[in-house]
Structure 1
Amino acid sequence: MNRSLVEMARCMLYHKGIDKKWWAEAVNTSAWIINRIPNTVTVKTPYEIVYQKKPQLKNLKVFGALGYGHIPDEKRRKLDAKAFKCRFLGYEDGVNGYRVLNVETGQVKIVCTVKFMETTSTGDFMTEVEGDDKDEAVAAPHATAPSRGQTQTLTTFNDEVVPLQHEVTTETAIVPAPSHSMITRSRT
């Protein structure tokens, strides 16, 4: 198998924490993307060479992105859910749809109507997810300054612990309450 495909698939799997059993879907999606990227030998993409037209890239999605797929009216009853929670796995050739993993059943489905929550406008990954699943909810990263003289440690990839010393000085200023010249009537 092509090293570029395997490396790209590995990155996609680990980026979103998708299980390794979905490696074939990741490799297939990697091939789909690589076939739409220009290479250095020719200015055209492999897709352009085969189909004689530029590829449509407006439907690119983040592998493993959480989404909600629409359940058609004929496949549900009146009070059933209208959508199912899913994760993006790839693209389906010949169909205007996406390959998604139904989170509840573990089945791979092809859906045309789906809404993915990929990123916020700043490019950071979504930090809030609907539902009660604790493994799906991701806390927003935050930094707190350690108190004076507190030592933090940094663990490297080879499990070596490196102490980090921080000297943080904080000054507290008392800010007076805002005053205004508005006259109010007194109660009698």
Structure 2
Amino acid sequence: MVVLATKCYVTGDARDRALDGMRSLVANDVGELHVDWQVGVRDDGFVQVDVTGEDAEVARNVLTETWGEIVAHDEGLVAGETYVGTLESWDEDGFVLDAGVEIVVPAAEIGLGVGSPEQVVERFGLVQHLPLSFVYGGDIGDPDAEPNRLADAERDRLYDWQRGNGRVNVNSAT
């Protein structure tokens, strides 16, 4: 099973259509492998893909690389390890990520240059629900805990994305 770093927020017929679309996207990623898969939604809205078959491990790795993976609730988070969460909100205090549990990345630990979190969001074109990797600092109340922070690889990815080929910056448009 892989819990993808994407959520399904709709219900009813719209959810059925969204899951049909998700099945197609999963088929694009792992359709040529020798696997069967089922796409579903966890109680917290994250999309989960159950994979079986002779290439199941490869398929799980492909899905994790493509979508990012949310750690299952029962596994918990380990201080100093890197995880993926989706950007839920931001304010002057920092970023709030949803990694199955709420993760706050303080403004000082975003590490994407000067400015408030709102300015960083604007500068980098970040949008709500964007998967972001972070380093978990530890449990609240743990005297050895450090602040949560964006992972170095995530910072590099965002800097490369901002400067990379295929990105169009518009200063003035009417």
Q: Same fold (TM over 0.5)?
A: no
Shorter chain as normaliser: what TM range? Answer: under 0.3
Name the TM-score, length of structure 1 as normaliser: 0.23
RCO greater where, 1 or 2, for CA within 8 Å and sep 6 or more? 2
Higher strand share: 2
